[in-house]
Amino acid sequence: MIDVTSLLVAGIEFGSLPQQLLNGILIGGVYALIALGYTMVYGVLRLINFAHGEVYMLGAYTALFVSWIIYGRAQDPVTVVWYALPLMLLSAMTVCALIGIVLERFAYRPMRNQPRIASLITAIGLSLLLQYGGQLFLPVSPAPNISGKVNPYRDNLTFYLTQPAPSLVRAADALKPEMDKAKAALDEQLKLEKDEFNLSDTGLALRKEFFERQSAYNKAQGEAQSSAISITLPKGQLIMFTVTLILMAILRHIVLFTKSGRAMRAVSHDFDSAALMGINVNKIVTLTFVLGSALAGAGAMMSATFISGVKIDTFFGLLPGVKAFVAAVLGGIGNIPGAVLGGILMGVAESLVVWAGYDQYKDAVAFLILIVVLLFKPSGLLGSNKVEKV
């Protein structure tokens, strides 16, 4: 479907590539956070926790409610309080962890001795129940949005990778004297006019000319600017990515260097043997859900806050959830570094599709990747090939 000519027609600008790649990596961090939850639960229980996306959604709502408690419900700009963002993050993580515990204890644990398909159907059912049941109790219309209100880091950092093309800069500069001249003429005339809102014909003509020259100059200026390759980095998203990295480092520490982490790896390696070796598997499964859900909560709070224009509704977790799952499969499900790698690659792939001019197919690319991965390397990039024992 995508061939070279259509790409050319779509008008690809290679100059915007670095920007899109960066966007991809930033959003990929969020996918990675969610993917970790999928991969960890799959690792210990061999269960695709379909409801994980809904845990993420409830994390966003928690952040919303906490922001309402701190700042009130009005949409007006507010004076920023320093503890607002940390509090929102912590409460989203805590609430999600609790939801994870409840789901595991009351829905998945009774299913553990049933065929795997039964747990899978339960998971799908829970996911739907939270999506549609949530609509009865959570504010959905108008879909709330907190990014504009509570995010104090809205300004951008802009880095220029190359200078604007000199010929275009010169062309733009050449238009400036003309515009200044028109402006001066207009100003002169305005002094003579009695009523600024009811200009004479001369005034009107001069104003029209000034506007034309101004827009020509702005256009040339814009062209010159866009010939430079630059990266715009919203500060908020930078913070988001940093926090993501910190959380991943903490997770890594827990999984690799603590007793519980070791137990978790043992359970993931062989559930039954781990139980026989005296590991309290129920405790470890709960811990897995707590960690995974808390990460999803953090991801939800940050993407609701730092990505501008994001609206929260009960389907907030649907697409990110599915994409994160694909990311987990891409990296090799059950494999923690794989989930991070998969998440980042997923984000990048998506932004490449946007860059190629196919924004409307942004959400479909995840599934294409999934199908390709499953066809050619079902164990994922970092996963190990397991031979089924006969």
Partner 1 sequence: MRFWGVRLASIAGGIGLAVLIHWIALSQLSAFGVRLVVLAGLYVTLAVSLNLINGITGQFSIGHAAFYQVGAYAAGLFTVKVFSSQPLTFMLWVPVAMIVGAVVASAAGLLVGLPSLRLRGDYLAIVTLGFGEIIRILSQNLKVVGAASGMAIEPKMLSQSPMVWLCWLLAIGSIALCRNLLQTAHGLSFLAVREDEIASSAMGINVTRTKVAAFVLGSALAGAAGGFYAHYEGFLIPTQFGMEVSFIILTMVVLGGSGSITGSVIAAVALSALPELLRNIKTIPLATVIGLTIGVIAAVSLGRRWSEQLHGPVRDRVLKLSGLTGLCLGGGYLLGLGLRALPALSEATTDGNRIRMVIFAGTLVLLMLVRPQGVLGHREFGLGKWLREPAR
C-beta closer to partner 1: residue 243 or 350:
350
Stretch that binds partner 1, among 103-111, 188-196, 264-272, 278-286 (CB under 8 A): 103-111
User: What distance in Å separates the CA atoms of residue 99 and residue 336, rounded to the nearest whole number?
Assistant: 22
Q: How many residues bind partner 1 (CB under 8 A)?
A: 44
Collapsed DSSP state (helix, strand, coil) of residue 159: strand
Residue 354 engages partner 1 in binding (rule: CB under 8 A):
no
Stretch that binds partner 1, among 153-161, 267-275, 291-299, 372-380 (CB under 8 A): 372-380
Stretch that binds partner 1, among 125-133, 216-224, 264-272, 290-298 (CB under 8 A): 125-133
Residue 120 engages partner 1 in binding (rule: CB under 8 A):
yes
User: What distance in Å separates the CA atoms of residue 205 and residue 183, rounded to the nearest whole number?
Assistant: 12
Question: What is the CB neighbour count within 10 angstroms for residue 77?
Answer: 10
User: What distance in Å separates the CA atoms of residue 21 and residue 344, rounded to the nearest whole number?
Assistant: 10
| β partners of residue 230 | 160
Residue 10 engages partner 1 in binding (rule: CB under 8 A):
no
The site string for partner 1 over 300-329 (x = CB under 8 A, - otherwise) reads ----------------------x--xx--x
φ and ψ of 258, to 5 deg: -110, 165
> Tokens in use for 116?
């795997």
User: What distance in Å separates the CA atoms of residue 318 and residue 322, rounded to the nearest whole number?
Assistant: 6
User: What distance in Å separates the CA atoms of residue 215 and residue 359, rounded to the nearest whole number?
Assistant: 29
C-beta closer to partner 1: residue 230 or 350:
350
Question: Judged by CB under 8 A, which of 20, 62, 122, 305 binds partner 1?
Answer: 122
Residue 111 engages partner 1 in binding (rule: CB under 8 A):
yes
> In the bound complex, what is the minimum distance in angstroms from residue 363's beta carbon to partner 1?
6
Residue 115 engages partner 1 in binding (rule: CB under 8 A):
yes
User: What distance in Å separates the CA atoms of residue 67 and residue 175, rounded to the nearest whole number?
Assistant: 48
φ and ψ of 232, to 5 deg: -105, 130
> In the bound complex, what is the minimum distance in angstroms from residue 10's beta carbon to partner 1?
14
> In the bound complex, what is the minimum distance in angstroms from residue 149's beta carbon to partner 1?
25
Burial 277-310 (b: 16+ CB within 10 A, else e): eebebeebbbbbbbbbbbbbbbbbbbbbbbbeeb
**Region class of 380: left (phi > 0), else alpha (psi between -120 and 50), else beta:** left
Residue 176 engages partner 1 in binding (rule: CB under 8 A):
no
The site string for partner 1 over 28-67 (x = CB under 8 A, - otherwise) reads -------------------xx-------------------
One-letter identity of residue 376: F
Q: How many whole angstroms from its chain centre is CA 297?
A: 13
> In the bound complex, what is the minimum distance in angstroms from residue 102's beta carbon to partner 1?
13
Residue 73 engages partner 1 in binding (rule: CB under 8 A):
no
Collapsed DSSP state (helix, strand, coil) of residue 199: coil
> In the bound complex, what is the minimum distance in angstroms from residue 147's beta carbon to partner 1?
25
Q: How far is CA 89 from CA 2, 183, 231, 249, 306, in A?
A: 41, 51, 28, 17, 12
> In the bound complex, what is the minimum distance in angstroms from residue 360's beta carbon to partner 1?
5
> In the bound complex, what is the minimum distance in angstroms from residue 220's beta carbon to partner 1?
34
Residue 135 engages partner 1 in binding (rule: CB under 8 A):
yes
Binding site for partner 1 (CB under 8 A): 47-48, 107, 110-111, 114-122, 124-129, 131-133, 135-137, 322, 325-326, 329, 360-361, 363-364, 366-368, 370-371, 374-375, 378, 388, 390
